[in-house]
Structure 1
Amino acid sequence: MRFPLSHYCCFLCVIVLLPVLCKCEDTFTYSRATYYGTPDGLGTPTGACGFGEYGRNVNGGKVGAVSRLYRDGTGCGACYQVRCKMPNLCADVGMKVVVTDHGGGDDTDFILSRRGFSMLARPNKAADLFAYGVVGIEYRRVPCQYPGSNIFFKVHENSRFPDYLALVMLYQAGLSDITAVDIWQEDSQAWKGMRKSYGAVWDMANPTKGPVSLRFQVSGRRGQKWVQLMNVIPSDWKPGVAYDSNFQLDH
Structure 2
Amino acid sequence: MELKYHQFGLVCVIMLLPVMCTSQDSFTCSRATYYGSPECTANPTGACGFGEYGTAINDGSVAGVSWLWRNGSGCGACYQVRCKIAEYCDDYGAYVVVTDFGVGDRTDFIMSPRAYSRLAKNEDASAELFKYGVVDVEYKRVPCRYGGYNIIVKVNERSYNPHYLAIVTLYVGGTQDITAVQFWQEDCKEWRPMRRAFGTVFDVENPPRGDIKLRFQVTGSAGVYWVESKTFITSDWKAGASYDTQIQLE
TM tier relative to shorter chain: 0.7 to 0.9
Answer yes or no: is the 8 Å Cα contact 2:76–2:172 preserved in 1: yes
Answer yes or no: is the 8 Å Cα contact 1:84–1:94 preserved in 2: yes
Answer yes or no: is the 8 Å Cα contact 1:42–1:63 preserved in 2: no
Alpha-carbon distance in 2 for matches of 1:230, 1:210: 16
1:225 is displaced (CA, Å) by: 1.0
2:97 aligned residue: 98
Secondary structure of the equivalent of 2:208?
coil
Answer yes or no: is the 8 Å Cα contact 2:90–2:120 preserved in 1: yes
1:229 aligned residue: 229
1:229 is displaced (CA, Å) by: 1.5
Answer yes or no: is the 8 Å Cα contact 2:154–2:168 preserved in 1: yes
Alpha-carbon distance in 1 for matches of 2:79, 2:136: 15
Structure 2: which amino acid aligns with 1:181?
V
2:166 is the counterpart of 1:136: no
Alpha-carbon distance in 2 for matches of 1:29, 1:75: 16
Alpha-carbon distance in 1 for matches of 2:100, 2:55: 10
2:65 is the counterpart of 1:66: yes
Secondary structure of the equivalent of 1:116?
helix
> Deviations for 1:57-78, whole angstroms, at most 9, x for unmatched residues?
1011000100010111110000
The count of corresponding residues between Structure 1 and Structure 2 is 229
Alpha-carbon distance in 2 for matches of 1:53, 1:34: 22
TM, length-normalised to structure 1:
0.87
Secondary structure of the equivalent of 1:57?
helix
Structure 2: which amino acid aligns with 1:186?
E
Alpha-carbon distance in 2 for matches of 1:239, 1:29: 40
1:246 aligned residue: 246
Answer yes or no: is the 8 Å Cα contact 1:214–1:228 preserved in 2: yes
Structure 2: which amino acid aligns with 1:192?
R
> Deviations for 1:34-77, whole angstroms, at most 9, x for unmatched residues?
00126853211110000000111101100010001011111000
Alpha-carbon distance in 2 for matches of 1:113, 1:226: 33
Answer yes or no: is the 8 Å Cα contact 1:211–1:231 preserved in 2: no
Q: Hey, which bits of structure 1, 4+ residues long, moved more than 2 A?
A: 23-26, 38-42
Query: Are the structure 2 counterparts of residues 24 and 185 from structure 1 closer, same or farther at C-alpha, using a change threshold of 3 Å?
Result: farther
In structure 2, the gaps of 5 or more residues are: 1-21
2:11 aligned residue: none
Secondary structure of the equivalent of 2:129?
helix
Answer yes or no: is the 8 Å Cα contact 1:151–1:244 preserved in 2: yes
Q: Percent identity?
A: 56
Answer yes or no: is the 8 Å Cα contact 1:42–1:57 preserved in 2: no
Query: Are the structure 2 counterparts of residues 39 and 137 from structure 1 closer, same or farther at C-alpha, using a change threshold of 3 Å?
Result: closer
2:46 aligned residue: 47
Query: Are the structure 2 counterparts of residues 120 and 194 from structure 1 closer, same or farther at C-alpha, using a change threshold of 3 Å?
Result: same
RMSD: 1.7
Alpha-carbon distance in 2 for matches of 1:40, 1:145: 26
Query: Are the structure 2 counterparts of residues 45 and 207 from structure 1 closer, same or farther at C-alpha, using a change threshold of 3 Å?
Result: same
Alpha-carbon distance in 2 for matches of 1:141, 1:31: 13
Answer yes or no: is the 8 Å Cα contact 2:229–2:246 preserved in 1: no
